[in-house]
Structure formats: C-alpha cells, structure tokens
Structure 1
C-alpha cells in the first residue's frame, strides 16, 4: 500500500563510510542518538572504503549489474515511531491545501497506525504497536544516495511496517536489507589502490624499445570492505573481498605493440603481475609490457593501466558468493623519443 502524500522527513537514511583515502580501517557508527531512536538505516562501513561514502573506485565489468537503488531497513521502535509519525501527520493535516483526496489519504494513514485499519495485504496497528515496544521495530525505505536515477531511488515506496525481533520481514518486501545487499553496498564503497605500474625504462622510453611493466605483490594485494547494521534484535554484516587477477595495458596510441598481444597480463603464482626488468634483459621480450612504434613528439602518450579484480563476499549466517568482477585504472604519461644515430 502506497500513500505518497506522506513526507517522512528524515525518516530513514543511508550512512556514509568515512575514509582516510589510504585504504586504512575506517568506520561510521549507527546506534542510539541519545533519545532512544536507533538510526538503524545508517550502515556502518569499515575496512578500505571511500571517503565520505562516495561511489567506490571499482566499476563492475557486468554492465547489467548495479548496487541496489533502495532497500528497507529497521527504523524506529514503537514509541519513537508513534511520536514522529504523530507529529508528521498533524503537521501535514494543518498545512494549506490538505483537503480532498490528500486529507483523506492522511486520515487513512493515521487510522492504519492508530486504529488497526488495514488493507488486503497490509494489516493495521493498534496505537502504533506501543504495547510491543522493545520487541521489534518499524522498518522504512532507504534511498541509495549514489543512485543517479531518482525513479529507481524512490522505487521502495511502501509505508513503514513492523517486524518482530528475530523475525524476517514479510516476503512481499523483496528489497528488505540482507547480507547480500550489504555486500553490494560494500562493493560500491570499496576503495582500490591506484594502478600505477612500474616501467623500465621509466617515464621516458625509445621508439622500438621494449618497455617492461610490472606490479609488485608487496604493494598490490587484496582489498576488503565491510558493511553492517547492528541494532536491538537485528544484526547482519557482509565483507566484500577484491583480489587482483590481471593487468590490461592500453598504450594511448595505435602505433604500439603490447606484450602479450592482447595487452592482458595475468597474475603470477606469487601474486605479482609482470616481471621486474633486470640488467641483461634489454634484448628479451617482456612477459608484460609494450613497445611504441613512433615518437610522442612534444607531448606524451597516456598509458592506461587497468586492473581486473575478482570480487566475492561472505556474510552473516554463512551466506556468501561471487559478485561481478570489477575494474579500476589510471593513466600515466609516457614520453617516447626517437633513437638518435651518430653518422661518421
């Protein structure tokens, strides 16, 4: 049942991860605000998460997969919900222009929570369920602030509903928060390290000279981010883990060759990618690298290095599985010079 005339100002909101930009342990806490109101929809993030909860660096390789645009989560206990709803309804009832259908809808909503007035698939409540205060919570819709499509964000538009502690939400609420949804949100907030490969020669190379490229395991390892909701009677969490599996090199010009020819360098047994250049290898073909066939002139070529990450998750109750592979890349400037010959 949807009554769009009700504006639950500040009703439920998504929490934001707080990061230091360096992939260290970070966390934003939910819980009581000092008045007994539990900000249960505030998701608690930890691990390597992006600053201020912005969209993560990782991009799904599956164009058809996106994190959820909205969900339902625990909101308020019965007494706190009654206080807030009563104020909201009274305020809107007394607002100009609230006669006719709008006023009737608000009156119906008030009866739903106060007088046990329900609909076919939506039972009503007696006095906001205050006799069950502490035994459960009202759940409400939460919009994902990182979803650009406002219609998708607002698609969870059912009015708040009651869930007893330890019980699952009614089956019709398919978007109710789960460990799998938390895993997708952790995926979205995950912060990955910059993909700056080591080159030899470094920033300046020569035409037709093989350039070696590699990433050391010591500075490039798996990344984890955790999302959790912890309130009375409801505690779930999910940890998303990303492991690098390959490096793709895009030289920034068609006048270049890559090694291997696909430009995809797979991960080695020790977790590194490519092989460091060593003295005496100048005539060898690098296992991971590239060769420019013309000079960059007075400018540079923008070499793009993109890592593909294999991403999986584990969560409360032994849940878990795979998520779509993710990618994240950076550009770095490469100067390519002509080899100067000396005529005698």
Structure 2
C-alpha cells in the first residue's frame, strides 16, 4: 500500500473519531462482566450497546482459573519484555447492523466537521457506500448489505487491561469485511488468533495462593534450620481459557501453568537458604521439599532456611515465589510456549534467640 493512500485511510478513521468525540466502534473500551461463579470462574469482555439498541458481536469469554470481573490475574511474566496484546481486530457487526450504526455516526460527524476532517469523513462515506477503496482496502457498495449473514465487519478492540492509552488505541484502521470461514486480510497482523487468545488467557490467569509449610511453624530459633515444603495436593497445574465466538467465526486457546520450582527469600540478609540459591526444585512426585519428621533435627533440609539473628519484637517476611512453566494449545492444533510466570506469597516468621541457663 502506498504511503499517501494509507495515510488518507488512517486520516478518515481519526477524523471520524475526533469529530464524534468518541470512536464509532462499540467494541473498544468494553468492560468485563462476570457471567458465572464457582469453581474456576468465568468472565467475559464483550461489546457494549448504544442508544439504537445495536449490540456488538465482539466477545471474549474467559473460563477456568481467571481473575473475577475480567480483571488482570496475578501472574508476573519472567520475561520483562513480554506483554499481552494491547488491542486486536475481531468480528464486530453484520452488514445491516453495521450500516445502521456507521451511517448514523457518519451523518452526525459530517454535521460539524469542516476542512480536512470533513473531507476525510466524506471519503469514509464513499468507502462504505460507493465502493471507493484504497490498495488492500476494497470499498463496499451499500455497506455490503447484499452479503448480510455471509460474513461480518471486523473492528479494532482495545484491551481494557492495557495501561498505555497509545498502545491500547493502536488498532485504529477502519472496519473491514471478512467472509464467514475466511481469514482476515494479511495486512491486519493484529487480527485475533489463537496465540493472542492464549496471551490474553495468560494475562487473566489467577494462580493459587500457596503458603509453604514450615517446621517449626511460625516461630523458629536462631541457627536452627527451618524446613520448608509444598505437598503435591496443594501444588498442581492451573488452566485458563479464552474463547471468541461470532456468526461464522470461533476460536479458543487454553493456557496451562505447571509449577516447577520454589524460590525462598528469608526477608533478611542475616540468613542462609537450603539450597544456597534458595531455589527448591520440584520432586518426581510433584511435591517440593521434604516434610520435617521427628529425628531430622540434625539434618540439613533439602529446602529451607536458617536465620542467623532474632527478629526482635517483630517478624521477618519470608517470601515464597513459585515459578510456573506456561504453554498453550488452541484451535486448529496450534500451540506453543509462553514465558515462565511467577507468583509469590509472604509469610511472617518470628525468630527467637535460644535461651540458655548457666548454673
């Protein structure tokens, strides 16, 4: 696509957005609403509705272990450069509903726009009514109403959990038509696909609050090894699924997190960890560490801590962070790896001096 033509196309979208005061698309800025509760949980991010009663078809539903109300989950990516998609293109409206919505917004915008904005809006009107197109952006006669039911117009959708407003609004191309069963045009690289859904499931995933078992529990002594462990029953894989469904279009992806290691940080520099790295790996049976038992007091724990000074009148904040190996599978046999995730909890540990009496 040539630079000037693409610029005009983008100008048309920008002009209509600025003139109306808010983009004509309902799908962006959608809020997440809870649709189910109970085990795992389920929520959705869906298009809203406007005063004309038209409902956007865009909808991403989240199920499994996900944060409530469409919120961001508690997983931190080990890769600081990785991030979920800030926006995407997805099915929006059928031809007749799109004509009703779009023509009303164009008419409203045209009533106040002048100069370049007015010209751009005129170009947009021609694009959807008179087949005025750009390279790689064919025009549509009468909003494609003769193909109603055979496909949908796709539109940009903002990720409501993306804090950067510029990134969130970067899917700013005008809506485009996709026939049922067909892939979006290749120039729309941000069109929703299973890998994007997997990344969104990752973003919404909620990992369990896992508190390590300590022996002694809660209170330990200076220079006395404290054993730490996690039972297999409390330390299991977690799944989150993201799915999008629209007439003639359906995709889904499931992201799975498997625990692989536990990292201990004593909360003070005056301590030693076992092993020295503080990272306890997972055992063959799926547990981490080894439970303390009578007779092991003189042994070195495979996973644990030894505090070298008292916590005084307070406590030390023992941080236990679990690393999760994360992968995904999706529609059409797709799948792959995602960056490892981490999630940590903090426990208060009281450390006392060992009192001795000399006679």
Is the TM-score greater than 0.5?
yes
For residue 75 of structure 2, what is the aligned residue in structure 1?
Answer: 58
Cα 1:226–1:189 change in 2 (3 A) is same
What is the TM-score of this pair, normalised by structure 1?
0.94
Q: 1-side partners of 2:210 and 2:296: how far apart? A: 25
The CA deviation at 1:53 is 1.5
Alignment-derived partner of residue 44 in structure 2: 28
Aligned pair partner of 1:78 in 95, 118, 139: 95
Cα deviations across residues 150-169 of structure 1 (Å, max 9, x unaligned)?
Answer: 11111111110000000000
Q: Which residue number corresponds to residue 266 of structure 2?
A: 251
Are the counterparts in 2 of residues 38 and 231 from structure 1 also a CA contact under 8 Å?
A: no
Partner SS for 1:6: helix
Which runs of no fewer than 5 residues in structure 1 stay unpaired? none
Deviation (angstroms), 1:30: 5.8
**199, 208, 212: which one aligns with 1:193:** 208
Distance 1:37 1:165 in 2: 20
SS in 2 for 1:104: helix
Given that 1:20 and 1:51 are in contact with CA atoms closer than 8 Å, whether structure 2 keeps it comes out as: no
- Where does residue 181 of structure 2 map in the other structure? 166
Whichever structure has more helix as a proportion of its residues is: 2
1:13-35: per-residue Cα shift (whole Å, max 9, x none)? 356374989862424386998x9
C-alpha offsets along residues 237-293 of structure 1, whole Å, 9 cap, x if unaligned? 000000000000000111000000000000011111111111111111111100000
Moved more, 284-293 or 147-156: 147-156
Quote the Cα distance in structure 2 between the aligned partners of 1:86 and 1:152.
28
> Which of 337, 343, 350 matches 1:328?
343
CA offsets 1:180-239 (integer angstroms, 9 cap, x no match):
000000000000001311111111110000001111111221000000011111010000
- In 1, the alpha carbon distance for the partners of 2:233 and 2:270 equals 33
Task: Give the equivalent residue in structure 2 for 1:5.
Answer: 15
In structure 1, distance between residues paired with 2:187 and 2:67: 33
Q: In the alignment, is the contact (CA less than 8 A) between 1:240 and 1:311 conserved in 2?
A: yes
What is the aligned-residue RMSD (CA, Å)?
2.0
* Residue 84 of structure 2, aligned match among 47, 62, 67: 67
CA distance in 1, matches of 2:162, 2:317: 30
Aligned mates of 1:57, 1:27 — CA distance in 2: 16
Equivalent residue number for residue 191 of structure 2: 176
Equivalence for 1:342 = 357
Structure 2 counterpart of 1:43, from 47, 50, 60: 60
Please give the residue correspondences for 1:136-285 in structure 2 after superposition, counting only pairs within 5 Å: 136-285=151-300
Q: 1:128 aligns with which of 130, 138, 143?
A: 143
On the 8 A contact 1:30/1:230 being kept in 2, the answer is no
Tell me, yes or no, if the aligned pair for 2:27 and 2:58 is still in contact at 8 Å: yes
Distance 1:196 1:22 in 2: 22
Shift of 1:341: 0.5
> Hey, what's the Cα distance between the residues in 2 that align with 1:179 and 1:5?
32
Give CA deviations for 1:60-119 in whole Å, capped at 9, x if unaligned.
101111101111000000000000001111111223xx1111111111101100010111
Aligned-partner Cα distance in 1 for 2:178–2:129: 17
- Equivalenced residues, count: 341
User: Which deviates more, 331-340 or 23-32?
Assistant: 23-32
Instruction: State the alpha-carbon separation in 2 of the partners of residues 294 and 31 from structure 1.
Output: 57
Question: SS of 1:191's equivalent?
Answer: coil
Contact 1:36/1:80 (<8 A) preserved: no
- State how far apart, in whole Å, the 2-side matches of 1:49 and 1:133 are: 35
